[in-house]
Amino acid sequence: MPEFDLYPFTLDDHPAKADPILIAADIRHFTRIEASLERQLADLGARLGELRRTPTRGGQAAFDRDLEIHRLTERQRLLLRYGLDLCLGRVEGERGTLYIGRLSLTDDDGARLLVDWRAPAAEPFFAATRAHPMGLRGRRRYRWTDRRITDYWDEAFTDAAMTSTAALDEQSAFIASLGASRSTTMRDVLGTIQADQDAIIRADPRGALVVDGGPGTGKTVVALHRAAYLLYAEPRFRSGHGGILFVGPSRAYTAYVADILPGLGEEGVRTCTLADLVPEGAETSVEADRRVARLKGDGRMPGVVEAVVRSRERIPRRPVTIETAWGDVLLTPAHWEEAFGAAATDSTHNEAREEIGEALLAVLTDRLRARTIDREGDAAAWGEVRWDQDPWAGEGWGDAGGAGASPQRGFDDEAEFDAYDLEDDREGDESEAMRLGLIENSELQAAFDRAWPLLDPAALVRGLWTSPELLQQHAPWLTADEVHALQRPGDSPWTPEDLPLLDAAHLRAGDPGAAARRSRDRAEEASDRVRMGEVITDLIGTDDSEMRVMSMLRGQDLRGALAASTAAEVHRPGSLGGPFVHIVVDEAQELTDAQWHMLLRRNPSGSFTIVGDRAQARHGFAQSWEDRLGESGMRYVRRASLTINYRTPAEIMAEAAPVIRTVLPDANVPRSIRSSGVPVRRGRVAERDAIIAAWLAAHAEGTACVIGDPGLESAGRVQALEAAEAKGLEFDLVVLVEPGRDGSEWGTAGRTCTGWSSDGTEATVDRYVAMTRATRELVILT
């Protein structure tokens, strides 16, 4: 079949899947979808043009027209945004073949082309399992790239479907081979896989469920299917108040998740790495010192940030006299305390600064207005202003702008916008003049900055690593030697171990630039209120309905609600800040206590699916999952183990199992039940190129990976990775380059010249992980 006939499929990397027998029905259906989209977009454009040209007399008719324009415009935006990739996949079952989409779509005759993913009919696309097929024979998922289908996967739920398709995903293909076996043992294994996986997928979402499984057990796929199932089984998971967050070890994980679940956006699913949770995570460097990494990973470290921020929120102990054009005003500790009390309990430090500043201005303005100023005696009675004997009060640790810069001073500059043109009525108003005078008063600005400075989250954390005194004061459990080990130059790059402290600092201190943005937003909102008021006045004036319903819009509550709804459509919180109703964490064995705090903060309910393998923890994992997570603050932890390896050949696992048991005797090493018939080979490093060349010549498809040879670059179907980088990936051939047995290849800074760690546990885990990346052949070179 010519390539243009394959549209929208582009399967150059998977030629077997381009067989017309497999995709001809999809191509015909996509042709119908495309025709329907073109007609609908044309109709929407014509309808919108007609509505916009239609004059109205105002009142209810204008109101109804604007609502219809809004509805049609939203539909047009969605259709233009996606195109054919509205389609997520298809299911085949008792109701025939249904194509599932991000929204529903019909043709001119009303025939259903796409079923909305939230509709009950779409539930099997997400929730069906081999143990509970929900009436399905098969399920197909598409991978879209630049509006083309570049790959697809079929899952089979019946024996007949197993033999009718050549595009089975890995798990279905393996299950098909088990189902075809005449061995009673193999059929028992099939039943075990189905039962174990189904129990995990449908487990109660309350608390934390650990999916503990070794290499090749399919634990990640099962966890993702569980999340898909929960989207449908738990209404609160798709209520628009949180959704699900996937946290993985790398960017590649995000693409992998997209193969299992559609990008449902705000509707339900977010994907990220830990580095994505904080702005500084975009550029981090590996922490070479394991001792420093361990100290920063302590679960108590995020609390140090809280202590530092509290130390910058100080009620002055002595009064200060503020000179103004209306006389001197005495600002006492009681006045500070009153202003501090105005801050909302859930405000960040910088948000509270705005609230306290406004309250302080109100207190002082009232005192000036009341003329309750003792110009002579009070200040002498109290003595000179004195701050809390804080040795760092003048150092500016964490102040926005940093040392040597010009931080924002005094009260946050706000461009006032008078929404109802009341400014003219207030001209000459003494209270407003007093307020403006106080805002510009340098003495008051300086006092306010000392009592409650504007803080920069990154500067707060950097201060801990550049001031041993500050760190020792707020982390008293650290020894002097440990404090010294944590010190770094001020321009040092961030490391992954810094992220939990940065996250805590952003959460507690807040955005130092938010005040200026809020000021602009208030001005825009005020402008919207003026415009809304004009619209409402016009609607009321032209209302010719019998009930005069538009007169209800005179109420300020309704006017405010209308304006607020307009603002809500524009301003939305950060998508990764939470809270989320459920979080899936992959490669969870690597997380430190401090990193768990980042995730617990985003999921107060504690509903987690935790995917990991203690045996693959590079820095050791001697505890049980229950103990480790309990120490991190997790409650209600349950564990489900997957023990059958259907990916890694038995020949490879026989060599890998003894390796990991040397450092973790109770490791959950899965039982491999697939044999490749190819024994593990051993050779010398000098044979590397010849081995790879021979394999490429013998295999037209498939991928290979050389692990542990940093001198080699990736090319074509052969990747070159360090052991840690290969985690979670799989290859047909793995060539493992091990360090020299005589130690001559060991390098410095904890690494060898071949990329292996010189730490015994870390190196052993890396070797185990590297060996189990192979799905067919493993060659070990020394």
Poorest-pLDDT segment among 106-110, 122-126, 406-410, 532-536: 406-410
Poorest-pLDDT segment among 212-226, 262-276, 478-492, 742-756: 742-756
Both tokens of 301, joined, read 């470290």
pLDDT band at 274 (very low <50, low <70, confident <90, very high): very high
User: Would you say 454 and 516 are in contact if contact means Cβ atoms under 8 Å apart?
Assistant: no
Rounded (to 5) percent helix, strand, coil in the chain: 50, 15, 35
Q: What is the mean pLDDT of residues 706-721?
A: 90
pLDDT confidence of residue 258: 59
* Residue 639 vs residues 253, 319, 642: alpha-carbon distances, Å: 23, 59, 10
Poorest-pLDDT segment among 30-39, 416-425, 637-646: 416-425
**Is 216 one of the annotated binding-site residues?**
yes
pLDDT at 310 over 90: yes
Both tokens of 7, joined, read 């549209």
pLDDT band at 225 (very low <50, low <70, confident <90, very high): confident
pLDDT confidence of residue 504: 95
How do 105-106 and 112-116 pair as beta strands? antiparallel
Poorest-pLDDT segment among 409-413, 431-435, 642-646: 409-413
Both tokens of 589, joined, read 């064995």
**Is 73 one of the annotated binding-site residues?**
no
Residues 164-194 as b or e (16 or more Cβ within 10 Å = b): ebebbbebbbbbbebbeeeeeeeeebbeebe
Poorest-pLDDT segment among 53-62, 272-281, 344-353: 53-62
Q: What is the mean pLDDT of the chain?
A: 80
Q: What is the mean pLDDT of residues 723-727?
A: 82
pLDDT band at 584 (very low <50, low <70, confident <90, very high): very high
What gap in Å lies between CA 609 and CA 532, rounded to an integer? 46
Both tokens of 590, joined, read 């690597």
DSSP three-state, residue 187: helix
pLDDT at 296 over 50: yes
Q: pLDDT tens digit string along 599-640?
A: 999 998 899 999 999 999 988 888 999 999 999 988 899 999
Residues 293-308 as b or e (16 or more Cβ within 10 Å = b): bebbbbbebbbbbeeb
pLDDT confidence of residue 628: 93
Q: pLDDT tens digit string along 118-149?
A: 788 888 887 787 778 889 999 898 888 888 99
Kindly report each contact of residues 743-752 with a partner whose C-beta sits within 8 Å and lies 24 or more positions away, as own/partner: 749/288, 750/288, 750/290
pLDDT confidence of residue 427: 37
DSSP three-state, residue 221: helix
**Is 248 one of the annotated binding-site residues?**
no
What gap in Å lies between CA 518 and CA 558, rounded to an integer? 23
Q: CA nearest 706: which of 780, 647, 757?
A: 780
User: Would you say 429 and 448 are in contact if contact means Cβ atoms under 8 Å apart?
Assistant: no
Instruction: Report the chain's terminal Cα–Cα distance, integer Å.
Output: 48
pLDDT at 10 over 50: yes
Higher pLDDT, 132 or 401: 132
Q: In 284-331, at which residue ranges do the beta strands (DSSP E only) sit?
A: 320-324, 327-331
Sign of torsion, CA 375 380 381 382? positive
Bond prior to 124 in cis (omega within 30° of 0): no
Highest mean pLDDT among 99-103, 231-235, 403-407, 703-707: 703-707
Domains of the chain: 3-193 (no CATH), 198-287+579-643 (3.40.50.300), 301-509 (no CATH), 514-570 (no CATH), 650-781 (3.40.50.300)
User: Would you say 757 and 766 are in contact if contact means Cβ atoms under 8 Å apart?
Assistant: yes
User: What percent of the chain clears pLDDT 90, i.e. is strictly above it?
Assistant: 37
pLDDT band at 389 (very low <50, low <70, confident <90, very high): very low
Please name every residue paired with 582 in a beta bridge, in sequence order, or none if there are none: 244
Q: What is the mean pLDDT of residues 551-568?
A: 49
Q: Which residues contact 64 (CB under 8 A, 6 or more apart)?
A: none
User: Would you say 545 and 60 are in contact if contact means Cβ atoms under 8 Å apart?
Assistant: yes
User: Would you say 589 and 219 are in contact if contact means Cβ atoms under 8 Å apart?
Assistant: no
pLDDT confidence of residue 179: 52
How many CA atoms does the CB half-sphere of 774 hold within 13 Å? 30
**Whole-prediction pTM:** 0.71
User: What percent of the chain clears pLDDT 70, i.e. is strictly above it?
Assistant: 75
pLDDT confidence of residue 391: 43
**Is 215 one of the annotated binding-site residues?**
yes
pLDDT at 372 over 50: no
User: Would you say 779 and 683 are in contact if contact means Cβ atoms under 8 Å apart?
Assistant: yes
Q: pLDDT tens digit string along 148-165?
A: 998 888 888 877 766 666
Helix axes 20-53, 59-82, angle to 10 degrees: 150
**Is 218 one of the annotated binding-site residues?**
yes
Q: CA nearest 322: which of 166, 447, 496?
A: 447
pLDDT at 598 over 50: yes
What gap in Å lies between CA 208 and CA 635, rounded to an integer? 7
**Is 217 one of the annotated binding-site residues?**
yes
Q: Which residues contact 177 (CB under 8 A, 6 or more apart)?
A: none
pLDDT at 390 over 70: no
Both tokens of 347, joined, read 């405000």
**Is 135 one of the annotated binding-site residues?**
no
pLDDT band at 35 (very low <50, low <70, confident <90, very high): very high
Q: CA nearest 437: which of 322, 530, 519, 545?
A: 322
Both tokens of 528, joined, read 């919207």
Q: Which residues contact 152 (CB under 8 A, 6 or more apart)?
A: 17, 23, 89, 140, 141, 142, 143, 167
Q: In 669-715, at which residue ranges do the beta strands (DSSP E only) sit?
A: 671-672, 681-683, 704-707
Higher pLDDT, 419 or 651: 651
Map tokens 């309750």 to a residue: 372
**Is 555 one of the annotated binding-site residues?**
no
Phi-psi region of 752 (alpha: psi -120 to 50; beta: other; left: phi over 0): beta
Dihedral, CA of residue 323, residue 328, residue 329 and residue 331, to nearest 10: 50
Q: CA nearest 588: which of 719, 727, 721?
A: 727
Phi-psi region of 125 (alpha: psi -120 to 50; beta: other; left: phi over 0): alpha
Q: Which residues contact 531 (CB under 8 A, 6 or more apart)?
A: none
Poorest-pLDDT segment among 287-296, 648-657, 732-741: 732-741
User: Would you say 265 and 421 are in contact if contact means Cβ atoms under 8 Å apart?
Assistant: no
pLDDT at 70 over 50: yes
pLDDT band at 651 (very low <50, low <70, confident <90, very high): very high
